[in-house]
Amino acid sequence: MKKYMNLLLWGTQVDESLFPTLELIKSIGFDGVEVPIFNPNPEHWYAWRKKLDDLGLERVCDTFCGAETNLISPDPAIRQAALDYLKSCVDCALVLGSDKLMGPFHSALGIFTGQSATEQEWAWGVAGIQQLSEYADNMGVMICLEYLNRFEMYLTSCTDELIRFVDDVNRPNCKIMFDTFHANIEEKNIGNAIRQMGNRIAFIQLSENDRSTPGKGNVDWEGVFKAIKDIDYQDVISIEAFSQKLPAANIWRQMFESEEILMREGLGFLAPLTPEGGFELRNLNYNKHQKNKCILENNSNINQVATPPSGRFDASTGRLLNIAIVGLGFGAEFIPIYQRHPHTNMYAICQRNVEKLNAIGDEFNIEKRYSDYDELLKDPNIDAVHINSPIPNHAEQSLKALYAGKHVACTVPMATTVEDCQKIVDACKATGKKYMMMETVVYAREFLFVKELYEKGELGKVQFLKASHQQDMEGWPDYWPGLPPMHYATHCVGPVAGLLKLQAEYVSCFGSGRISEDLVKIHNSPFAVESAHIKFKDSDLSAYVYRSLFDVARQYRESFEVYGSKKSFEWSLIEEEEHVIHTAKKPEPEIPEKVKVPDYAHYLPKEIQSFTGKGVYDADDNTHLSFAQGGGHGGSHPHLAHEFVMALIEDRDPFPNAAQSANWTSVGILAHESAMKGGEIIYLPDF
- pLDDT of 189 higher than 70: yes
For the chain, the maximum distance between any two Cα atoms, rounded to a whole number of angstroms, is: 106
CB neighbour class for 555 (10 Å; exposed up to 12, middle 13-18, buried from 19): exposed
Task: Indicate the SS3 state at residue 460.
Answer: coil
Among the listed residues 34, 187, 208, 240, the single catalytic one is 240
* Res 139: pLDDT: 81
More confident of the two residues 298 and 590: 590
> What is the band of 46 on the pLDDT scale with cuts at 50, 70, 90?
confident
Mean pLDDT over 659-686 rounds to: 96
- Under the banding of pLDDT at 50, 70 and 90, the label for residue 587 is very high
**For residue 285, is pLDDT > 50?**
no
Q: Tell me what the mean pLDDT of segment 305-312 comes to.
A: 36
454-494 confidence digits (pLDDT tens): 999 999 999 999 999 998 888 776 778 888 999 989 999 99
The Cα 127–Cα 139 span in angstroms is 19
Mean pLDDT rounded to a whole number for the chain: 88
Q: Tell me the mean pLDDT in the region 531-551.
A: 96
Q: Band the pLDDT of 255: cuts 50, 70, 90.
A: confident
Query: Is it the case that residue 385 has pLDDT exceeding 50?
Result: yes
**Contact call for residues 316 and 336 (beta carbons, < 8 A):** no
Catalytic, 146? Answer: yes
What is the model's pLDDT at position 245? 84
Lowest mean pLDDT among 56-60, 182-186, 215-219, 628-632: 628-632
The residue from 34, 121, 146, 561 that is catalytic is 146
- Rounded distance, CA 127 to CA 148, Å? 20
Using an 8 Å Cβ cutoff, are 385 and 406 in contact? yes
- The residue type found at 324 is A
d(CA 219, CA 266): 14
**Per-residue pLDDT tens for 592-651?**
999 999 999 999 999 999 999 865 544 444 554 444 444 467 899 999 999 999 999 999
In this prediction, residue 249 carries a pLDDT of: 77
pLDDT of residue 257: 80
CATH of domain 321-436: 3.40.50.720
The contacts of residue 261 (CB under 8 Å, 6+ apart) are 213, 396, 399, 400
The reported pLDDT for the residue numbered 614 is 64
Q: Return the CATH fold of 3-269.
A: TIM Barrel (3.20.20)
Amino acid letter, 550: F
Per-residue pLDDT, averaged over 389-409, amounts to 91
Q: Which residues of 243-267 are buried (b: 16+ CB within 10 A; e: fewer)?
A: beebeebebeeebbbebbbbbbbbb
- Say yes or no to pLDDT of 574 above 60: yes
Which H/E stretch holds residue 142? Answer: strand 142-145
User: Confidence band (pLDDT; 50, 70, 90) for 274?
Assistant: low
Mean pLDDT on 342-358: 95
Strands (DSSP E) contained in 415-484 are: 435-437, 462-470
Question: Minimum mean pLDDT among 181-185, 268-272, 417-421, 545-549: which range?
Answer: 268-272
- The predicted structure's pLDDT at residue 632: 62
| pLDDT of 200 over the 60 cut | yes
pLDDT of 576 reads 84
- pLDDT band for 282, please (50, 70, 90 cuts): very low
Burial 163-183 (b: 16+ CB within 10 A, else e): bebbeebebebbbbbbbbbbb
> Domain limits of the chain?
3-269, 321-436, 441-598+662-683
Q: pLDDT: is 246 or 84 the higher one?
A: 84
Pairing of strands 100-103, 142-145: parallel
Lowest mean pLDDT among 97-106, 370-379, 547-556, 622-631: 622-631
pLDDT category of residue 278 using cuts at 50, 70 and 90:
low
Instruction: Write the CATH number of the domain with boundaries 441-598+662-683.
Output: 3.30.360.10
What would the pLDDT profile of 483-510 be if each residue is shown by its tens digit? Answer: 899 998 999 999 999 999 999 999 999 9
Percentage of the chain beyond pLDDT 90 is 72
Q: How far is CA 548 from the centre of its chain?
A: 30
To the query of whether residue 680 is one of the catalytic residues in this protein, the response is: no
DSSP assignment of 214-263, as one string? TTSSS--HHHHHHHHHHTT--S-EEE----TT-GGG---S--SS-HHHHH
pLDDT at 453: 96
pLDDT, position 434:
96
Among 342-351, 518-527, 529-538, where is mean pLDDT lowest?
Answer: 518-527
Convert the pLDDT of each residue in 79-127 to its tens digit: 999 999 999 999 899 888 899 999 999 999 999 999 999 999 999 999 9
Q: How far is CA 94 from the centre of its chain?
A: 37
Residue of 83, 77, 95 lying closest to 41 (CA atoms): 95
pLDDT at 328 over 70: yes
pLDDT at 298: 33
pLDDT at 433 over 80: yes
Going by the DSSP 8-state scheme, the letter that residue 181 receives in this structure is: H
205 pLDDT band, cuts 50/70/90, is: very high
